Structure 1
Amino acid sequence: MRDQQLFVTSGRRVTSALRHLPPTPHVVAMCADWESQALGAIAPVVLLLFVLLVVATQYTFTASCKDTRTCRVNFAEEELRKKLSPLEFHVTQEKGTEPAFTGKFAEHKGKGTYGCVVCQAPLFASQAKYDSGSGWPSFYNIIRANAVSHSKDRSHGMHRTEVTCGQCGAHLGHVFDDGPPPTGKRFCINSASLNFNPSAEEEGGAEAVEEAPVKPEL
């Protein structure tokens, strides 16, 4: 590396000196030759910096709190195996995926809030749910900032963005950039990772609760 730096520096000095000479064809050729060699010397350095930049960008997403051990709510595996169904455990703790069009919330249209089946944290408002035709519950927005975390998922030979619960780190699904306005996002979520809390209106209560408008948080 030091030899390359010295070569580039000396090359620049020589080229600068040559530029003060009359612009004869010979001098022009010498300048071009020195500049070509200097660029060849720094090319590996530029390539290395580019590779390092690409690698660094792979870690700009917020990792699951389970990966960083910063979850606000934690459960022992034994406790979760008793609390969750086999499918719920597989999806939320082992990053599984339920078959399309089989989840209980795939066609669900009730008014209320969808939360994490593990820790009950609110995740999505029913206002943000829409029919994407994918076979999984789809939402165009989260219920509030930091409700979920995002991380790169390179499993199964695909490049995806994993979505996990921001409170307990449970695997929820993935988010894609092919959703509707106003966010353009499609949160593709497993029904097995969700619970549902109906609004007072849905339950037939005397006082209907009007859902607050969903604002983009992404």
Structure 2
Amino acid sequence: MRLRIFDIILKDILAEASRTGEYEPVHTKKLEEKLEILNKHSIATIGKRFFFKLETENNIKTIVPCGRFSGHLQQSFFVNSFPYEKLIENETISKNAKNLVEKFKFMIQLIRTEKSKRTSVLADVAKSFVKDFRQSGLRTGCTPYMHLIGNHLAEQDENENLTAYDMQGVEKSNDLLSRLYFSSSNRAKTPLRTMMQSLYRRL
């Protein structure tokens, strides 16, 4: 779940960073400057295994991430020196994005504390995090993962060990099936059969 939350926040930050309010060629120049800032920060914090590039779709240029962004890399990437203000031109949204990341990092630390001391605090922090997320200006909707944190995280923590809700296996299976589906030339006809045949051949 931690991976997905950081993914969502990064995606929203990049979407906001891709808005410059300028016309070409100034728009592209600004995006290239932001791209350079991001890649320098990425190299300084997590190396060259993860980087950013410009992508054009329907004549709209956006900054997109490339590479695997695992859990320990995410926390190393979102350090205090992350250049929010250089990427997001709206000062309020920039501050909100930074606050959102810091609050989520605090929540991760809170979950690592003794269970008996964190449950009541966790509920307040989780609800506050989702409220801040929706009011941040990055997006107005609420993703399923955000809903889970705001409404069910503390409840699950109280009734069960949070490791019992580990989604790693589900995410890995989803990743595998996605790769099988999109690499299949017959996916439009019988996708399930194609994926099952591919898995069977691996046995």
So what's the TM-score if we normalise by structure 1? 0.21
